[in-house]
Amino acid sequence: MATVGGNLMQRTRCPYFYDTATTCNKREPGSGCSALNGFNRMHAIFGASEHCIAVNPSDMNVALVALDASVHVSGPKGDRIIQIQDFHRLPGDQPDKDTILDRSELITSVSIPASTLTHNHYLKVRDRSSYAFALVSVAAGLELDGKTIRQARLAMGGVAHKPWRLKEAEQSLQGKQVSIETFQQAAEIAMRGAKGYGDNNFKLKLGPNTIVEALKIASRI
């Protein structure tokens, strides 16, 4: 059992974050990052910094990003609405901060706008079939008119410190006909700038494969 707010706020599963015998900038700022040259199979391929290469472990957050959700928060300075895309942070030089939520603010609700997406799928690739966090996941949403893609939404999980929206890949799909080649081109665009850290280099291949597979299942071709 969990809450939506709790899921939004869940912290990384990086093993060094939980092992107090090791250094970790997220747990103890300035101490160093054990994962950089350590066991980093689960770690980021996008948006990492020299201070932290951890990933956000949530599945729900990835789907909410693809659905353009908004997070409603309340605090001493009043209420505000944060676009989900802006809610989680990249590590930069302050990896101890996962979100832009102020310590005195409280999440009160999450809203999801009405969607025109007609074909959707969430594909999660993991080491075992239950109770495992994503190695790579993809939330894919398409608005199809016959075989023509009117609109596409794509977000990845298990690859960055925040749910990773694939805007350029989405734009590349718009107006195209549904096909494996079109999906492969979008996946190639999505992976631009990806970087492995050793143990997680397999994600550079698993990432585009998962994007193509998620789009295939969503479009039912």
Cβ at position 202, least distance to ligand SF4 in Å: 18
Rg for the chain, CA atoms, rounded = 18
Candidates 3, 8, 13, 26; binder of ligand SF4 (CB under 6 A) is 26
Q: Which is nearer to ligand SF4, 6 or 29 (CB)?
A: 29
Edge-to-edge strand ranges of the sheet holding 106-111: 78-83, 70-75, 106-111
Residue 121 identity: H
User: Using an 8 Å Cβ cutoff, are 16 and 22 in contact?
Assistant: yes
Q: Is 52 in the site for ligand SF4 (CB under 6 A)?
A: yes
Contact window for ligand SF4 (CB under 6 A) among 16-24, 65-73, 124-132, 179-187: 16-24
Q: Which is nearer to ligand SF4, 17 or 87 (CB)?
A: 17
Q: How far is CA 62 from CA 7, 33, 56, 146, in A?
A: 11, 25, 9, 27
User: Using an 8 Å Cβ cutoff, are 47 and 55 in contact?
Assistant: no
What are the backbone angles phi and psi of residue 214, rounded to the nearest 5°? Answer: -65, -40
Query: Rounded CA gap, 186 and 174, in Å?
Result: 10
Q: Is 67 in the site for ligand SF4 (CB under 6 A)?
A: no
Contact window for ligand SF4 (CB under 6 A) among 52-60, 80-88, 169-177, 208-216: 52-60
Candidates 24, 71, 142, 218; binder of ligand SF4 (CB under 6 A) is 24
Residues that bind ligand SF4 (CB under 6 A): 12, 14, 16-17, 24-26, 33-35, 52-54, 95
